[in-house]
Amino acid sequence: MTQRSSPPEDLARWSLVDRYYEGIVGAGDPVLTAALEASRAAGLPEIQVSPLQGKLLHLLARSIGARRILEIGTLGGYSAIWLARALPDDGRLLSLELDPKHADVATANLRRAGLSDRVEIRVGPATESLEKLVRASDPAFDLVFIDADKASYPVYYESAVRLSHPGTLVVADNVVRRGDVAEAGSVDPQVVGVRQMNERIARDRRVSATAIQTVGTKGYDGFALVRVDSVTEDRRFSAER
Protein backbone atom coordinates (compact mmCIF):
# COMPACT_ATOMS: atom_id res chain seq x y z
CA MET A 1 0.00 0.00 0.00
CA THR A 2 1.31 3.43 -0.91
CA GLN A 3 1.88 5.67 2.07
CA ARG A 4 -0.37 8.68 2.27
CA SER A 5 1.44 11.97 1.75
CA SER A 6 1.08 14.92 4.08
CA PRO A 7 -0.37 18.12 2.59
CA PRO A 8 2.53 20.42 1.59
CA GLU A 9 1.28 23.20 3.85
CA ASP A 10 1.33 20.83 6.85
CA LEU A 11 4.89 19.68 6.18
CA ALA A 12 6.04 23.28 5.76
CA ARG A 13 4.51 24.26 9.09
CA TRP A 14 5.87 21.18 10.87
CA SER A 15 9.34 21.95 9.49
CA LEU A 16 9.09 25.55 10.66
CA VAL A 17 8.28 24.40 14.19
CA ASP A 18 11.16 21.90 14.09
CA ARG A 19 13.60 24.64 13.12
CA TYR A 20 12.25 26.85 15.90
CA TYR A 21 12.79 24.18 18.54
CA GLU A 22 16.17 23.16 17.14
CA GLY A 23 17.30 26.69 17.91
CA ILE A 24 15.72 26.67 21.35
CA VAL A 25 17.14 23.35 22.58
CA GLY A 26 20.40 23.33 20.64
CA ALA A 27 19.71 20.28 18.49
CA GLY A 28 22.68 20.65 16.19
CA ASP A 29 26.27 21.86 15.82
CA PRO A 30 28.97 22.00 13.10
CA VAL A 31 29.96 18.34 13.63
CA LEU A 32 26.41 17.09 13.19
CA THR A 33 25.89 19.39 10.21
CA ALA A 34 29.10 18.08 8.64
CA ALA A 35 27.88 14.50 9.11
CA LEU A 36 24.66 15.30 7.26
CA GLU A 37 26.54 17.07 4.47
CA ALA A 38 29.01 14.20 4.08
CA SER A 39 26.17 11.69 3.91
CA ARG A 40 24.38 13.78 1.31
CA ALA A 41 27.56 14.19 -0.76
CA ALA A 42 28.06 10.42 -0.71
CA GLY A 43 24.55 9.90 -2.07
CA LEU A 44 23.13 8.24 1.04
CA PRO A 45 19.33 8.39 1.36
CA GLU A 46 18.21 11.22 3.65
CA ILE A 47 16.28 8.99 6.03
CA GLN A 48 18.23 9.65 9.22
CA VAL A 49 16.44 10.90 12.31
CA SER A 50 15.74 14.62 12.54
CA PRO A 51 17.87 16.83 14.82
CA LEU A 52 15.14 16.93 17.45
CA GLN A 53 14.73 13.17 17.31
CA GLY A 54 18.48 12.77 17.62
CA LYS A 55 18.46 15.00 20.69
CA LEU A 56 15.64 12.87 22.11
CA LEU A 57 17.71 9.70 21.70
CA HIS A 58 20.61 11.48 23.39
CA LEU A 59 18.47 12.51 26.35
CA LEU A 60 16.91 9.05 26.70
CA ALA A 61 20.37 7.46 26.81
CA ARG A 62 21.57 9.96 29.39
CA SER A 63 18.40 9.60 31.46
CA ILE A 64 18.90 5.87 31.97
CA GLY A 65 22.68 6.19 32.41
CA ALA A 66 23.37 4.00 29.39
CA ARG A 67 26.87 2.55 29.19
CA ARG A 68 26.26 0.00 26.43
CA ILE A 69 24.11 0.89 23.42
CA LEU A 70 23.14 -1.22 20.42
CA GLU A 71 22.03 0.46 17.20
CA ILE A 72 20.48 -1.53 14.36
CA GLY A 73 20.95 0.56 11.21
CA THR A 74 23.91 2.95 11.04
CA LEU A 75 23.36 4.79 7.74
CA GLY A 76 25.75 7.80 7.85
CA GLY A 77 26.28 7.72 11.60
CA TYR A 78 24.12 10.74 12.46
CA SER A 79 22.10 9.01 15.18
CA ALA A 80 25.23 7.18 16.31
CA ILE A 81 26.87 10.54 17.04
CA TRP A 82 23.91 11.62 19.16
CA LEU A 83 23.89 8.32 21.05
CA ALA A 84 27.66 8.06 21.52
CA ARG A 85 27.81 11.57 22.94
CA ALA A 86 25.51 10.39 25.73
CA LEU A 87 27.95 7.68 26.81
CA PRO A 88 30.55 8.02 29.57
CA ASP A 89 34.20 7.84 28.52
CA ASP A 90 34.25 4.06 29.01
CA GLY A 91 30.87 3.53 27.35
CA ARG A 92 30.46 1.66 24.09
CA LEU A 93 28.07 1.83 21.13
CA LEU A 94 27.80 -1.08 18.72
CA SER A 95 26.11 -0.19 15.43
CA LEU A 96 25.05 -2.76 12.83
CA GLU A 97 25.01 -1.80 9.14
CA LEU A 98 24.36 -3.87 6.03
CA ASP A 99 25.85 -1.55 3.40
CA PRO A 100 29.69 -1.19 3.39
CA LYS A 101 29.43 2.24 1.74
CA HIS A 102 27.16 3.50 4.49
CA ALA A 103 29.54 2.09 7.09
CA ASP A 104 32.50 3.88 5.48
CA VAL A 105 30.68 7.22 5.53
CA ALA A 106 29.62 6.66 9.13
CA THR A 107 33.15 5.72 10.16
CA ALA A 108 34.49 8.98 8.72
CA ASN A 109 31.72 11.00 10.38
CA LEU A 110 32.37 9.39 13.75
CA ARG A 111 36.10 9.96 13.40
CA ARG A 112 35.45 13.63 12.66
CA ALA A 113 33.23 13.78 15.74
CA GLY A 114 36.02 12.34 17.91
CA LEU A 115 33.97 9.29 18.83
CA SER A 116 35.86 6.45 17.14
CA ASP A 117 37.10 5.17 20.49
CA ARG A 118 33.62 4.38 21.76
CA VAL A 119 31.80 3.24 18.60
CA GLU A 120 32.16 -0.02 16.67
CA ILE A 121 30.40 -0.56 13.34
CA ARG A 122 29.84 -4.16 12.24
CA VAL A 123 29.05 -4.67 8.57
CA GLY A 124 26.72 -7.43 7.40
CA PRO A 125 23.12 -8.61 7.72
CA ALA A 126 21.85 -7.45 11.11
CA THR A 127 20.03 -10.72 11.73
CA GLU A 128 23.33 -12.60 11.51
CA SER A 129 25.19 -10.09 13.67
CA LEU A 130 22.43 -10.21 16.28
CA GLU A 131 22.48 -14.01 16.42
CA LYS A 132 26.24 -13.93 17.00
CA LEU A 133 25.72 -11.43 19.82
CA VAL A 134 23.12 -13.67 21.44
CA ARG A 135 25.44 -16.68 21.23
CA ALA A 136 28.39 -14.68 22.59
CA SER A 137 26.61 -13.99 25.90
CA ASP A 138 28.27 -10.56 26.19
CA PRO A 139 27.01 -8.06 28.80
CA ALA A 140 23.48 -6.85 28.08
CA PHE A 141 22.77 -3.52 26.43
CA ASP A 142 21.17 -0.63 28.29
CA LEU A 143 19.52 0.89 25.21
CA VAL A 144 18.71 -0.53 21.79
CA PHE A 145 17.77 1.71 18.87
CA ILE A 146 16.10 -0.05 15.94
CA ASP A 147 16.09 1.90 12.68
CA ALA A 148 16.65 -0.45 9.76
CA ASP A 149 14.52 -2.44 7.29
CA LYS A 150 11.03 -2.58 8.75
CA ALA A 151 10.22 -6.02 7.34
CA SER A 152 12.75 -7.46 9.79
CA TYR A 153 11.47 -5.54 12.82
CA PRO A 154 9.95 -8.67 14.47
CA VAL A 155 13.36 -10.38 14.42
CA TYR A 156 15.18 -7.24 15.54
CA TYR A 157 12.76 -6.76 18.41
CA GLU A 158 13.08 -10.31 19.69
CA SER A 159 16.87 -10.14 19.49
CA ALA A 160 16.87 -6.78 21.26
CA VAL A 161 14.98 -8.20 24.22
CA ARG A 162 17.23 -11.25 24.36
CA LEU A 163 20.21 -8.89 24.55
CA SER A 164 18.65 -6.78 27.31
CA HIS A 165 18.47 -6.70 31.10
CA PRO A 166 15.59 -5.49 33.28
CA GLY A 167 15.45 -1.76 32.71
CA THR A 168 16.78 -1.77 29.16
CA LEU A 169 15.01 0.65 26.83
CA VAL A 170 14.25 -0.40 23.25
CA VAL A 171 13.34 2.38 20.79
CA ALA A 172 11.96 1.43 17.36
CA ASP A 173 11.68 4.19 14.77
CA ASN A 174 9.26 4.63 11.86
CA VAL A 175 6.43 2.58 13.35
CA VAL A 176 3.48 4.72 12.20
CA ARG A 177 4.20 4.76 8.45
CA ARG A 178 2.08 7.90 7.91
CA GLY A 179 -0.87 6.09 9.45
CA ASP A 180 -0.68 2.95 7.32
CA VAL A 181 0.21 0.87 10.39
CA ALA A 182 -3.49 0.97 11.29
CA GLU A 183 -4.42 -0.77 8.01
CA ALA A 184 -4.82 -4.45 8.87
CA GLY A 185 -5.02 -5.40 5.20
CA SER A 186 -1.80 -3.68 4.12
CA VAL A 187 0.53 -5.77 1.97
CA ASP A 188 3.41 -3.28 2.21
CA PRO A 189 6.28 -5.37 3.68
CA GLN A 190 7.37 -2.44 5.85
CA VAL A 191 3.90 -2.02 7.33
CA VAL A 192 3.50 -5.77 7.77
CA GLY A 193 6.85 -5.95 9.57
CA VAL A 194 5.92 -3.18 11.98
CA ARG A 195 2.50 -4.72 12.67
CA GLN A 196 4.07 -8.11 13.35
CA MET A 197 6.50 -6.51 15.80
CA ASN A 198 3.60 -4.73 17.49
CA GLU A 199 1.73 -8.01 17.84
CA ARG A 200 4.76 -9.56 19.52
CA ILE A 201 5.03 -6.62 21.89
CA ALA A 202 1.35 -6.92 22.77
CA ARG A 203 1.81 -10.59 23.75
CA ASP A 204 5.19 -10.20 25.40
CA ARG A 205 4.98 -10.52 29.17
CA ARG A 206 8.55 -9.32 29.56
CA VAL A 207 7.95 -5.70 28.59
CA SER A 208 5.95 -2.52 29.02
CA ALA A 209 5.48 -0.35 25.95
CA THR A 210 3.91 2.67 24.33
CA ALA A 211 3.95 4.37 20.92
CA ILE A 212 4.18 8.05 20.00
CA GLN A 213 3.04 9.65 16.74
CA THR A 214 5.34 12.40 15.46
CA VAL A 215 5.30 15.15 12.85
CA GLY A 216 8.15 17.38 11.69
CA THR A 217 10.74 17.74 8.97
CA LYS A 218 10.61 13.94 8.50
CA GLY A 219 6.86 14.07 7.84
CA TYR A 220 4.30 12.01 9.74
CA ASP A 221 5.54 8.91 11.52
CA GLY A 222 6.31 7.78 15.06
CA PHE A 223 8.28 5.50 17.32
CA ALA A 224 7.74 2.75 19.87
CA LEU A 225 9.23 2.83 23.37
CA VAL A 226 9.64 -0.54 25.07
CA ARG A 227 10.98 -1.06 28.58
CA VAL A 228 12.23 -4.54 29.34
CA ASP A 229 10.85 -5.51 32.75
CA SER A 230 12.04 -9.11 32.91
CA VAL A 231 14.22 -11.48 30.93
CA THR A 232 13.65 -14.61 33.01
CA GLU A 233 12.53 -17.80 31.29
CA ASP A 234 9.07 -17.82 32.88
CA ARG A 235 8.35 -14.39 31.42
CA ARG A 236 9.62 -15.10 27.90
CA PHE A 237 7.58 -14.34 24.79
CA SER A 238 4.37 -16.34 24.90
CA ALA A 239 2.29 -16.81 21.76
CA GLU A 240 -0.56 -18.07 23.92
CA ARG A 241 -1.20 -14.82 25.75
Strands 119-123, 219-228: pairing kind: unpaired
Enumerate the domain spans of the chain: 15-234
Specify the CATH architecture of the domain 15-234.
3-Layer(aba) Sandwich (3.40)
pLDDT digits (tens, 9 = 90+) for 17-35: 999 999 999 999 999 999 9
Q: Which pLDDT belongs to residue 235?
A: 35
Contact 178, 171 (CB under 8 A): no
Instruction: State yes or no: pLDDT of 73 exceeds 70.
Output: yes
Instruction: State yes or no: pLDDT of 233 exceeds 90.
Output: no
Contact 187, 141 (CB under 8 A): no
State the first-to-last Cα distance of the chain, in angstroms, to the nearest integer: 30
pTM value surpassing 0.75: yes
CA 48 to CA 75: how far, in whole Å? 7
Instruction: State yes or no: pLDDT of 6 exceeds 70.
Output: no
Quick one: pLDDT band at residue 200, thresholds 50, 70, 90? very high
pLDDT digits (tens, 9 = 90+) for 154-183: 999 999 999 999 999 999 999 999 999 999
Percent of the chain with pLDDT over 90: 91
Other Cβ atoms closer than 10 A to 76: 30
Distances (CA, A) of 90 to 64, 66, 84, 119, 213: 16, 11, 11, 11, 34
| Average pLDDT value over all residues in the chain | 93
